[in-house]
């Protein structure tokens, strides 16, 4: 081959290669495109569902959403979803996320979550990949280090410094009498950066005027309506629950109107606060049990949290000093149960008035303390419908309205990327077997979950997570009891059955007093006092005296008395065994005097 021939061959090959590249380029782009067609599309924007709809996905982003005539590349991958319903990937707007929660949230269609107080760094970045088996993580990067002792200049500087850590939304200190002085300064800096503010408040009308955007829990609207004496008594533990104070409707309606006018969101966390009072409670308990029956999940899921959340379906938050934080509904008095039920209905009325005034609700669960990650967001939507919201409104609360938290103040951060089916949004979606607008419980009839244009594989990997230290407990978990004293602490041998009063902390209605390891009849008085029936057989004799030494016979008691161990055991979830306190048994001839010599 001559050099000219060789040059010609090379030129031809280069030309052919270039032609191949030109033809292949659009094919490569189209090869990344996926088309979902035939389903009813519920965009969550409030527009009518699109029947026989088409969603065109390019990579991890939605390119277009429309009816059956929507165009798409001829060589795109087409998936027929005829007869199905497609909703946006769910957004849990209130979590205390930990990395073991990822799989169970994704399996329940939660593709994004807002980690309040979290700072996940690289894990947050990794969560954006569609291969990551975790929802997209958005967090507050901890929070600004501010306090009431700081000057305005120091407050503003601290917030600006924190903003350099790139939070997705903000949580300042809880709003109360101590923080009200500086809250507005911090809020102005946060809003200047375009972020929205989420958090607790003791006075929602005030905090909203100071710049608070998303109100965590309902009680921030209720406490300001209490009289000073009622508030003092509530703080002292003389009322069962704050919900029964929903009564001054003219004042509450005015607060709602002002909040809505300011663009505030409400994050009621119904499952966390009042879920056991719902008509769905028994069904929810069965669903929770079913989740925790999966051996692959339970290979790594914290057993203590699973047990606590299963029992939580039968517990209610108590603010009265006579009960523990979470009391079993089966233990409250009939009139107390009626009071709880009345409070639950009043909360529903408040939420309905909020919606009727044009407000927006963000569905948040406070998981893990609020409920089973992922599943409890569906429960939250069911409770919102039970309160009077339409199924569409409940769905919007767990999608677009929660997603708006990430778009910033008045959309300052940019286009909405999660919680909506629209061009430019992430291709995060859930395929359902039934229509959620007919029955919101249909959001649990999940057939497929897509994150970033890729359908996830359902199920659990036993090696998904490994704890390097014991898992934490849920908020208000049943504590291990501790005994400080018993009365009486000494009895005479041969005494008949008698009662011992056990004082300490951390007692609950299921706590049981044990005598030398044997359970005895126990009466719960309050979280600090138990009463126990001690049978005569336990103290029938003051012998043998374990302190006796070999030598001449002495009556029991010269050096010491025999004792029995008094302990308190609280069964799971959590709980455990208390310290031991000794009940002394004295010989009859000594009586109860402490000394036999002058």
The pLDDT tens digits for 266-283 are 999 999 999 999 999 999
Which residue range is the domain that position 242 belongs to?
87-455
Q: Is 67 exposed, middle or buried (0-12, 13-18, 19+ CB in 10 A)?
A: exposed
Q: What's the pLDDT score for residue 559?
A: 62
Same domain, 381 and 274: yes
Nearest to 391 by CA among 37, 87, 81, 94: 87
Q: What's the pLDDT score for residue 381?
A: 98
Helical (H) or strand (E) element with 566: strand 563-570
Task: Characterize the bridge pairing of strands 85-88 and 429-432.
Answer: antiparallel
Q: What's the pLDDT score for residue 593?
A: 65
Same domain, 501 and 400: no
Distance CA 397, CA 46 (A): 12
Domain harbouring 542, CATH code = 2.60.40.10
Same domain, 451 and 487: no
| Other Cβ atoms within 10 Å of 226 Cβ, number | 17
> In a 3-state reduction of DSSP, which class is residue 338?
helix
Distance CA 97, CA 116 (A): 8
Helical (H) or strand (E) element with 64: strand 61-66
- Orientation of helix 303-311 relative to helix 281-291, angle to 10°: 160
Q: What's the pLDDT score for residue 12?
A: 37
Task: Characterize the bridge pairing of strands 360-361 and 326-328.
Answer: unpaired
With respect to residue 357, please indicate whether it lies within any of the assigned structural domains.
Answer: yes
Same domain, 285 and 407: yes
With respect to residue 263, please indicate whether it lies within any of the assigned structural domains.
Answer: yes
Same domain, 21 and 149: no
Same domain, 558 and 450: no
Same domain, 446 and 503: no
Across the beta sheet with 482-487, the strand order is: 482-487, 498-505, 529-534, 522-526
Same domain, 418 and 495: no
Across the beta sheet with 136-139, the strand order is: 90-95, 110-115, 136-139
With respect to residue 594, please indicate whether it lies within any of the assigned structural domains.
Answer: no
Q: What's the pLDDT score for residue 535?
A: 97
Mean pLDDT for each 10-residue chunk of the chain (598 residues)? 42 39 37 90 97 97 97 95 98 96 98 96 96 97 95 97 97 95 97 97 98 97 97 97 97 98 98 97 98 98 96 95 94 97 98 98 96 98 98 98 96 93 98 98 98 97 94 93 97 95 97 97 97 96 76 65 93 96 88 56
Distance CA 55, CA 66 (A): 7
Rounded to 5°, the CA angle 191-196-198 comes to 130
Q: What's the pLDDT score for residue 1?
A: 44
| Lookup: tokens for 58 | 């390019």
Distance CA 533, CA 156 (A): 61
With respect to residue 73, please indicate whether it lies within any of the assigned structural domains.
Answer: no
Q: What's the pLDDT score for residue 19?
A: 38
Total length of the chain: 598
| Other Cβ atoms within 10 Å of 467 Cβ, number | 10
User: H helices then E strands: how many in the chain?
Assistant: 17, 28
């Amino acid at each position: 081959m001559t050099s000219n021939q060789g040059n010609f061959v090379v030129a031809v090959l280069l030309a052919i290669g270039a032609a191949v590249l030109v033809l292949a380029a659009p094919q490569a782009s189209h090869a990344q495109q996926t088309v979902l067609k035939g389903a009813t599309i519920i965009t969550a924007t409030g527009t009518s569902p699109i029947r026989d709809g088409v969603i065109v996905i390019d990579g991890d982003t939605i390119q277009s959403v429309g009816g059956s005539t929507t165009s798409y590349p001829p060589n795109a991958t087409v998936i027929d979803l005829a007869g199905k319903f497609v909703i946006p990937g769910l957004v849990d707007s209130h979590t205390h996320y930990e990395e073991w929660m990822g799989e169970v949230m994704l399996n329940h269609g939660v593709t994004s979550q807002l980690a309040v107080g979290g700072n996940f760094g690289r894990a947050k970045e990794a969560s954006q990949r569609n291969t990551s088996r975790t929802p997209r993580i958005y967090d507050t990067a901890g929070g600004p280090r501010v306090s009431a002792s700081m000057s305005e200049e120091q407050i503003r500087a601290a917030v600006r410094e924190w903003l350099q850590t790139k939070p997705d939304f903000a949580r300042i200190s809880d709003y109360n009498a101590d923080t009200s002085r500086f809250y507005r300064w911090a809020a102005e800096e946060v809003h200047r950066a375009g972020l929205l503010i989420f958090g607790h408040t003791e006075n929602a009308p005030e905090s909203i005027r100071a710049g608070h955007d998303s109100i965590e829990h309902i009680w921030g609207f209720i406490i300001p309506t209490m009289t000073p004496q009622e508030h003092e008594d509530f703080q002292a533990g003389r009322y069962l629950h704050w919900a029964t104070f929903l009564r001054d409707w003219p004042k509450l309606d005015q607060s709602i109107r002002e909040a809505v006018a300011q663009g505030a969101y409400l994050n009621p966390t119904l499952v966390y606060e009042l879920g056991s009072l719902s008509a769905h409670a028994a069904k929810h308990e069965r669903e929770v049990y079913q989740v925790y029956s999966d051996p692959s999940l339970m290979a790594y899921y914290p057993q203590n949290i699973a047990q606590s959340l299963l029992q939580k379906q039968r517990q209610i938050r108590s603010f009265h000093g006579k009960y523990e934080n979470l009391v079993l509904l089966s233990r409250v008095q009939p009139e107390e149960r009626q009071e709880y039920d009345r409070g639950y209905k009043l909360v529903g009325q408040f939420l309905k008035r909020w919606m009727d005034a044009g407000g927006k609700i963000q569905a948040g669960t406070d998981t893990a303390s609020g409920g089973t990650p992922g599943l409890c967001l569906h429960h939250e939507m069911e409770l919102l419908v039970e309160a009077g919201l339409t199924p569409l409104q409940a769905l919007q609360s767990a999608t677009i309205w929660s997603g708006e938290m990430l778009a910033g103040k008045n959309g300052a951060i940019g286009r909405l990327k999660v919680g909506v089916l629209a061009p430019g949004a992430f291709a995060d979606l859930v395929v359902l077997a039934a229509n959620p607008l007919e029955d919101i419980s249909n959001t649990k009839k999940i057939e497929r979950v897509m994150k970033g244009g890729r359908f996830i594989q359902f199920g659990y990997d036993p090696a998904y997570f490994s704890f390097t230290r014991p898992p934490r407990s849920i908020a208000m978990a049943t504590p291990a009891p501790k005994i400080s004293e018993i009365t009486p602490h000494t009895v005479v041998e041969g005494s008949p059955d008698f009662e011992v009063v056990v004082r300490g902390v951390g007692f609950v209605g299921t706590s049981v007093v044990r005598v030398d390891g044997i359970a005895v009849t126990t009466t719960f008085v309050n979280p600090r006092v138990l009463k126990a029936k001690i049978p005569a057989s336990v103290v029938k004799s003051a012998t043998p005296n374990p302190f006796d030494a070999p030598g001449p016979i002495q009556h029991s008691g010269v050096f010491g008395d025999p004792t029995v161990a008094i302990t308190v055991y609280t069964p799971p979830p959590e709980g455990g065994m208390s310290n031991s306190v000794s009940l002394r048994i004295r010989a009859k001839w000594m009586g109860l005097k402490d000394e036999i010599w002058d």
